[in-house]
């Protein structure tokens, strides 16, 4: 019997289908990107968040595995709370079909704070990068598992040519090597398996000692509170990307502050 499609299969099929149907000329896309607001340095903000681990606080309405988190959230209010709590950057899910997000969510979040913003989405084509810059994103997620070698290199080059930062996401040693081969200097280790969506909280620790000094390592997923953040900071991570834990918190500013404070102990 054929293997049933995974979460990642379905998501990528939808995004690649949309990319194939996009007939907008590249000149139009590039012009819109260059007309976007001035870039805020995403990677620089993470490096400047000392002592302790920087927090990339995520705005996410829902997920395929967890369902609704906060479908009626106000992205501007959430971003303001994150900034008040001491977040270094904000991540915004813009995928509509699977995560309930939108470009409007990103624009509202960025307009409500002074923090750099990551467009968290499944980037598969140049149009995705141009659209990210046009909507105000300061950084773009590139998932190694979702891209061929040529796609990863080309998209990484496009992101940097537009003045943005690329958060290159990996899951294992082989993907880390691919990320480093294209010149990635901001690398995220996603502890969530994109095939099953299960979380392995030891994954980031296993990869913690494998980053060259010039790379800023980020731990993603499975960070459920201050103890997790402190553990990852002690393993060498400069930043943590936290979504579900913050979205479910009744005090989002306080939850961000707690992550920051706990990690300073081991700094």
Q: What is the pLDDT of residue 264?
A: 58
By C-alpha distance, which of 154, 83, 139, 78 is closest to 113?
Answer: 83
Average pLDDT over residues 212-222: 93
Q: How confident is the model at residue 12 (pLDDT cuts 50, 70, 90)?
A: very high
- Asked whether the predicted pLDDT for residue 251 surpasses 90, the reply is yes
d(CA 33, CA 216): 26
Integer-rounded Cα Rg, in Å, for the chain is 17
Q: What is the pLDDT of residue 3?
A: 54
The residues annotated as belonging to the active site are: 58, 60, 120, 169, 190, 220-221
More confident residue, 69 or 114: 114
**Average pLDDT value for the chain:** 92
- Asked whether the predicted pLDDT for residue 228 surpasses 70, the reply is yes
Q: Give the three-state DSSP class for 107.
A: helix
pLDDT tens per residue across span 84-93 = 999 999 999 9
Q: Domain map of the chain by residue range?
A: 7-265
Give Dmax (Cα) for the chain.
53
- Domain covering 7-265, topology: TIM Barrel (3.20.20)
Q: Give the three-state DSSP class for 56.
A: strand
DSSP-H helix ranges across 114-172: 126-134, 149-161
d(CA 16, CA 23): 13
Cβ atoms of 128 and 150 closer than 8 Å: no
Q: What is the pLDDT of residue 267?
A: 43
- Asked whether the predicted pLDDT for residue 161 surpasses 60, the reply is yes
Q: What is the pLDDT of residue 266?
A: 45
- Asked whether the predicted pLDDT for residue 159 surpasses 60, the reply is yes
The burial of 68, by beta-carbon neighbours within 10 Å (0-12 exposed, 13-18 middle, 19 or more buried), is given as exposed
Q: What is the pLDDT of residue 194?
A: 67
Average pLDDT over residues 161-182: 96
């Amino acid at each position: 019997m054929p293997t049933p499609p995974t979460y990642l299969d379905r998501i990528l099929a939808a995004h690649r289908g949309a990319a194939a149907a996009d007939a907008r000329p590249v000149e139009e896309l590039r012009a819109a990107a260059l007309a976007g607001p001035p870039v805020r340095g995403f990677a620089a903000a993470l490096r400047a968040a000392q002592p302790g681990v920087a927090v990339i606080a995520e705005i996410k309405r829902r997920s395929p595995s967890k369902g609704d988190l906060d479908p009626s959230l106000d992205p501007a209010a959430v971003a303001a709370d994150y900034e008040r709590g001491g977040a270094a950057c904000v991540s915004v899910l813009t995928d509509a079909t699977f995560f309930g997000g939108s470009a409007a969510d990103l624009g509202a979040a960025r307009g409500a704070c002074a923090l750099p913003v990551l467009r968290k989405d499944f980037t598969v084509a140049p149009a995705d990068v141009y659209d990210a810059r046009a909507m105000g994103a300061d950084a773009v997620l590139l998932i190694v598992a979702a891209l061929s070698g040529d796609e990863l290199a080309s998209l990484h080059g496009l992101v940097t040519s537009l003045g943005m930062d690329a958060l290159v996401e990996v899951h294992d040693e082989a993907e880390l090597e691919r990320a480093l081969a294209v010149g990635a200097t901001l690398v995220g280790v996603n502890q969530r398996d994109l095939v099953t969506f299960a979380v392995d909280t030891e994954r980031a620790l296993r990869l913690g000692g494998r980053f060259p000094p010039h790379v800023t390592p980020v731990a993603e997923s499975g960070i459920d509170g201050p103890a997790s953040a402190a553990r990852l900071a002690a393993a060498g991570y400069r930043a943590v990307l936290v979504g579900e834990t913050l979205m479910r918190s009744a005090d989002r500013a306080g939850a961000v502050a707690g992550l920051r404070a706990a990690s300073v102990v081991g700094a």
